[in-house]
A and B are shown apart, each in its own frame.
Chain A
């Protein structure tokens, strides 16, 4: 279970304090598929980075399965079972897709196992396994590899920051199938997705709306979705592509 208690995060803007997250309280039980949505600049990605340890909160607490992880480093949180897929995947000169998947798995991963993760994200494994994770890959390819690195880890809390961004040539259905597969493979695994897309909101167990750094709505999809449907930030991916 993920618990967030009175979490605040204040950044600096030209030397002046600039509040981004203002005292959030959240509880996410195990085995839930939760989508955090809301307008741009509302603090969604910041919250995801606070959970994974990339940002340190100004005050408040984060607990995972009852353990206070607020002071834990990124590495410690990763080793405690938190996975994080970046909105903008990182490029590496020299490191191959296989290298990255092996690091993610934390063990000697066979080529066939690595290929399976790539196949799950819709990449033909033999074409990619030895490719460098560098600028020769397109944004969409990098995004799928990013998702594969989270699949290769056996995490209990997977955080995806706008996983649909940049994968417009790949079917949305596949992304949803991945999320479903992740839930099936571990009953108590929690998946936390930052997204604007109604198609992802449609499969959520629970939706959290974050605006101006505070939770404005939280509850089961059946309750929250009708209230936000048609809101500017909740876009239909197909409409966006058109």
Chain B
């Protein structure tokens, strides 16, 4: 941590709630290079030979351990693509915290594209938390294009919490999941855009095994003149169940295109989708104002609750 400056430490707090070196395995990346790494008895972090990223190998049966791999960028004009592969052994139960914070005070664009692949073994359980955050008042854009691929073996479980609340000018988020028999995927995405930001979020979930299930829920808020495209698709290829939902609040001159979609290739696939876009209801504002909040405070409370 001593190698990080104040801006980088602030970014680290925003994306990973880290105030000090985390317990367990970790890899800290700052301005394109690794500034700290620790493997543990059960979790090994190995740099890829070509330097393009890291492999994280979690031994079978690893329980109640965590891996933190946050990235911070504070140098304007830096652009990088990083490939991180997670191999999660059978019967393990782990927390993985990723996330990227960009502070751009310069004129050039800063970009981080993290490509994360998860190979989740039989009966393994992961909770993956990914937060993206941008700050800085430079003209250069803050760009994040994360790709998340999850390959889930029999009876494995993955909970994904994907959060991007502030400061990212442009993002194209892609999440691909393939589920084997009995596997369960639970996704909670929270997205807020403001200013002239543009965000795209694509989910392509394939339920390939009998008894597999997915629940993919995106809640988003588009403020100012920002634009969002939410494209959530679940394919049911076996006796499975899937639910996808886009729930959005639109404000100011924001624009949102929500495209939840379903594809069934098995008569035993039970699939449901929902989508709703609307402004903050006037009676919600009025109720909170009768409790003593100003209109702006009421708006913040409603959005804060919605994105919680």
Contacts and interface: CB of A to CB of B under 8 A. Distances in A.
A79 B287 contact: no
A73 B219 CA distance: 31
A123 B177 CA distance: 42
Max chain A C-beta neighbours (<10 A), residue from B247, B281, B286, B292: B292
Given A75-B294, A103-B301, A94 B308 contact: yes
A140 B247 CA distance: 26
A93 B289 contact: no
A207 B154 CA distance: 69
Contact of B305 (A53, A86, A89, A95): A95
A106 interface: yes
B289 A94 contact: no
A238 to B, nearest CB: 31
Contacts of A86: 283, 287
A53 B304 CA distance: 25
A78 B307 contact: no
Contact of B292 (A93, A94, A153): A153
A92 B247 CA distance: 13
B301 A104 contact: no
A75 B293 contact: yes
A90 B284 contact: yes
Interface string A64-92: 00000000011100110011101001101
Max chain A C-beta neighbours (<10 A), residue from B288, B290, B306: B290
B295 interface: yes
A92 B305 contact: yes
Contacts of A149: 291
Contact of B287 (A53, A90, A96, A153): A90
B291 A94 contact: no
Contacts of B289: 73-75, 78
A84 B290 contact: yes
B286 A92 contact: no
A94 B306 contact: yes
A74 B290 contact: yes
A99 interface: yes
B302 interface: yes
B274 to A, nearest CB: 13
Nearest to A77: B290
A173 to B, nearest CB: 27
B302 A95 contact: yes
Contact of B247 (A75, A79, A93): A93
Nearest to A54: B286
B286 A74 contact: yes
Interface residues of A, number: 26
Contacts of B306: 93-94
Nearest to A90: B287
Given A75-B295, A95-B301, A83 B290 contact: yes
A52 interface: yes
A100 B305 CA distance: 10
A103 B288 CA distance: 8
Contacts of A54: 286, 290
Max chain B C-beta neighbours (<10 A), residue from A73, A79, A94, A106: A94
Interface string A37-65: 00000000000000011100000000000
B71 to A, nearest CB: 29
A106 B292 contact: yes
Given A54-B286, A103-B288, A92 B302 contact: yes
A117 to B, nearest CB: 13
Contacts of A106: 291-292
B278 to A, nearest CB: 11
Given A75-B295, A103-B301, A92 B290 contact: no
A52 B290 contact: yes
Contacts of B283: 86, 90
B279 to A, nearest CB: 13
Max chain A C-beta neighbours (<10 A), residue from B247, B287, B293: B287
Contacts of B302: 92, 94-95
Given A75-B292, A103-B293, A94 B286 contact: no
A206 B252 CA distance: 47
Interface of B: 219, 247, 281, 283-284, 286-295, 301-302, 304-308
18 contacts: A54-B286, A74-B290, A78-B290, A78-B291, A82-B290, A92-B284, A92-B302, A94-B219, A94-B302, A94-B307, A95-B301, A99-B301, A99-B305, A100-B291, A103-B288, A104-B292, A106-B292, A153-B292
Given A54-B290, A75-B292, A83-B290, 9 more contacts: A54-B286, A89-B287, A93-B306, A94-B302, A94-B308, A99-B301, A99-B305, A103-B291, A153-B292
